[in-house]
DNA sequence: AATAAATGTTAATCTAGATTAACCTCTTTT
DNA sequence: AAAAGAGGTTAATCTAGATTAACATTTATT
């Protein structure tokens, strides 16, 4: 079961580092497959995050609920992306974010209890995770700069260009939340863009 | 020379993972000590970043120059912090950021040519770097949420509380740039805060 | 000590984007 | 087919923060 389901994960890992058959088996013994329905929560803000998830199919949003009850989306995850509240996972303290499925979603879960053993038994996987996180950090820093140096319209055009697959699967009001603007203003931007052409 | 100068680095690493004397020696053989004067550049936007630097003393700013010539500060680094353009370093492509010294600054440099060897020879250091980057990523994500959910005044108060040491060493106009606001508006915020008390 | 350069403040005016509120599709459910 | 819900649009009004510009203060340079 896990052997078939985890194929996309193995393919993904092999783009970074080569794994021997034995290493693949060791890994698959330590992870689990799970299916969520649309609207289900993978993590709830306030809970302790027990898993890092690799998305096999579907789509999730990671968001923070602020003191005013406003939702701020920090990322979307589709096939071949990761999702979790890493801060909560690495420190085992209450999560700052919720992760909710926007579509029916299949994931491979790396549990907190097993992740150390995975690193110890397959050192190359520790390298792999280091590289993944380095890239995530770089992307996050760039997003901060964009939010300071680009107008809302420019940020929206960047998002469309960079993540065309995500843009088409997700309601506009969630994209607005991701960009840090209101859905009304995104609507205005879109009608402006139509006029531009 | 490097033995004395690198003491803060070894102390810092030992807070995360224990190193044997032999591992320490292996590490020190692969890193170099360097001193920069105030206003000197450690990295220039457009160059390829050859080093990740651990700050022994002093203070740096990491900033991006946008197409309008505007400077956007993404981070400050003081003693016991890291500085580099990680995106440029890991991919060996032109840097998006410059790193400039705000004070005379001493660093320990990890060169691109040696970092792989360090990881291979001292696997525990790869774990250490993974953990450092995980934390940096978490902090970066949290900063994005703050920039969306807090007013400029709230963000400034958060910065003061979180980094009191940095706040006192750095000109206000750089803090404004870090917060993504103008120096004039920060000045207004500060006079408001005085009235609040 | 005088001058210049860097940093910080205040106030008037302007604007990108928020807020509010009414209305318009589509889907989905009954 | 009617009703309800989810998602999206438009327009009027409002506001946090930008811009401009003049001036004040501190620090460095001669």
- Give pLDDT, residue A194: 86
- pLDDT tens digits for range A46-73: 999 999 999 999 999 999 999 888 999 9
- pLDDT tens digits for range B112-153: 999 999 999 999 999 999 999 999 999 999 999 999 999 999
Q: State, as a whole number of angstroms, the distance between the CA of A70 and the C1' of C27.
A: 26
Is the predicted pLDDT of residue B1 greater than 90, yes or no? no
Tokens at A178, concatenated? 């991701």
- Give pLDDT, residue A68: 87
Whole-number Å distance between alpha carbons of B97 and B75: 10
Looking at the 3D structure of chain A, how many domains does it have? 1
The answer to the question of residue A80 being in a domain is: yes
User: DSSP letter at B49?
Assistant: P
- Give pLDDT, residue B163: 95
The residue of chain A nearest to residue B178, with distances taken between CA atoms, is: A148
Identify which of A86, A87, A137 has the shortest CB distance to residue B86: A137
Which nucleotide is closest to the Cα of B181 by its C1'? D17
- Give pLDDT, residue A35: 95
Secondary structure (3-state) at B56: strand
The answer to the question of residue A140 being in a domain is: no
What mean pLDDT is predicted for residues A107-113? 98
Q: Which helix (H) or strand (E) holds A42?
A: strand A41-43
Q: What angle do CA B193, B196, B197 make, to 5 degrees?
A: 100
More confident residue, B68 or A42: A42
Whole-number Å distance between alpha carbons of B63 and B21: 37
Query: To the nearest whole percent, how much of chain B has pLDDT over 70?
Result: 99
- Give pLDDT, residue A128: 97
- Give pLDDT, residue A107: 98
Domain hosting B46: range is 2-122
- Give pLDDT, residue A69: 87
Q: Which helix (H) or strand (E) holds B54?
A: strand B51-57
Under an 8 A CB cutoff, do A129 and B130 touch? yes
Q: How confident is the model at residue B196 (pLDDT cuts 50, 70, 90)?
A: confident
The answer to the question of residue B43 being in a domain is: yes
- Give pLDDT, residue A120: 96
Cα separation values, A41 from A60, A171, B71, B117, Å: 9, 18, 40, 42
To which residue do tokens 């190193």 refer? Answer: B19
The answer to the question of residue A103 being in a domain is: yes
CATH number, domain of B6, equals 2.60.120.10
Q: State, as a whole number of angstroms, the distance between the CA of B108 and the C1' of C6.
A: 30
Q: How far is A179 from chain B (nearest CA, A)?
A: 9
Under an 8 A CB cutoff, do A86 and B140 touch? no
Which nucleotide is closest to the Cα of B184 by its C1'? C9
> What value does the mean pLDDT of chain B take?
96
What mean pLDDT is predicted for residues A156-176? 96
Q: Which protein residue lies nearest to nucleotide D17, measured between its Cα and the C1' atom? A: B185
The answer to the question of residue A191 being in a domain is: no
Strand (E) positions, A58-157? Answer: 60-65, 71-77, 82-83, 98-101, 105-111
- Give pLDDT, residue A22: 96
Chain C bases closer than 7 angstroms to a protein Cβ: 6-12, 16-21
Whole-number Å distance between alpha carbons of B104 and A149: 29
A141 CB neighbours in chain B (<8 A) are 74, 86-87, 140
Q: How confident is the model at residue A99 (pLDDT cuts 50, 70, 90)?
A: very high
The residue of chain B nearest to residue A130, with distances taken between CA atoms, is: B130
- Give pLDDT, residue A196: 76
Whole-number Å distance between alpha carbons of B40 and A118: 43
Best probe of the B interface among A74, A77, A130, by most B CBs < 10 A, is A130
The answer to the question of residue A156 being in a domain is: no
- pLDDT tens digits for range B81-123: 999 999 999 999 999 999 999 999 999 999 999 999 999 999 9
- Give pLDDT, residue A1: 84
Under an 8 A CB cutoff, do B86 and A143 touch? no
Tokens at A131, concatenated? 């590289």
C-alpha count within 13 angstroms, C-beta hemisphere, residue B57: 9
- pLDDT tens digits for range A112-154: 999 999 999 999 999 999 999 999 999 999 999 999 999 999 9
Secondary structure (3-state) at B91: helix
The answer to the question of residue A115 being in a domain is: yes
Residue B149 CB closer than 7 angstroms to strand D? no
Question: Residue B196, exposed/middle/buried by CB under 10 A (0-12, 13-18, 19+)?
Answer: exposed
- Give pLDDT, residue B195: 81
Residue A188 CB closer than 7 angstroms to strand D? yes
Is the predicted pLDDT of residue B197 greater than 80, yes or no? no
The answer to the question of residue B76 being in a domain is: yes
Residue B147 CB closer than 7 angstroms to strand C? no
What mean pLDDT is predicted for residues B50-74? 96
Annotate A115-129 with b (16+ C-beta within 10 A) or e (fewer). Answer: beebbeebbebbbbb
Best probe of the A interface among B137, B177, B185, by most A CBs < 10 A, is B137
């Amino acid at each position: 079961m896990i052997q078939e389901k985890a194929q996309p994960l193995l393919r993904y890992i092999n783009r970074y580092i080569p794994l021997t058959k034995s290493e693949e088996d060791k890994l698959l013994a330590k992870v689990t497959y799970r299916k969520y329905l649309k609207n289900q929560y993978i993590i709830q803000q306030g809970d302790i995050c027990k898993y890092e998830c690799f998305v096999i199919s579907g789509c999730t949003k990671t968001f923070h609920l602020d003191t005013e009850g406003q939702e701020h989306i920090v990322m979307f995850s589709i096939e071949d992306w990761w999702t979790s509240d890493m801060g909560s996972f690495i420190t085992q303290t209450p999560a700052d974010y919720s992760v909710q499925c926007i579509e029916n979603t299949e994931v491979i879960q790396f549990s907190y209890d097993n992740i150390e053993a995975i690193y110890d038994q397959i050192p190359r996987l520790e390298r792999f995770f280091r590289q993944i996180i380095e890239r995530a950090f770089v992307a996050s820093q760039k997003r901060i700069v964009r939010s300071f140096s680009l107008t809302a319209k420019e940020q929206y055009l960047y998002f469309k260009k960079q993540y065309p697959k995500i843009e088409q699967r997700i309601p506009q009001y969630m994209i607005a939340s991701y960009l840090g603007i209101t859905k009304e203003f995104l609507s205005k931007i879109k009608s402006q863009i139509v006029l531009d052409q």
